Amino acid sequence: MPLFRVTVKTARNSNGIRIEKGMSVEVVASSTSSNPLTTNGGKLVADAFMHIYGIDVKKAGILSTVYLDVQRIE
């Protein structure tokens, strides 16, 4: 199962949620070919940001490759 690092590309203030450039989380995907942002509506990434930073990236509207950089690290 591959490990991905998802990092915020630019600072943003949306829907009362402040996102800072460089915030990152690591998630484990269940499939080798899956992007954690597109798999299951990005639930793994959203859950990781909520757990680590206490922010709702879905509510902030940044759950896309426009705002987040996804890198496979393992």
- pLDDT tens, position by position, 26-66: 999 877 667 888 888 899 999 999 999 999 999 999 999 99
Q: What is the pTM of this model?
A: 0.89
Q: What are the start-end ranges of the H helices in 1-74? A: 43-53, 57-60
- In 1-74, the DSSP E strands lie at 3-8, 12-14, 17-19, 24-28, 68-72
The three-point CA angle 68-7-3 to 5° equals 105
Residue pLDDT, tens place only, 9-24: 999 998 999 999 999 9
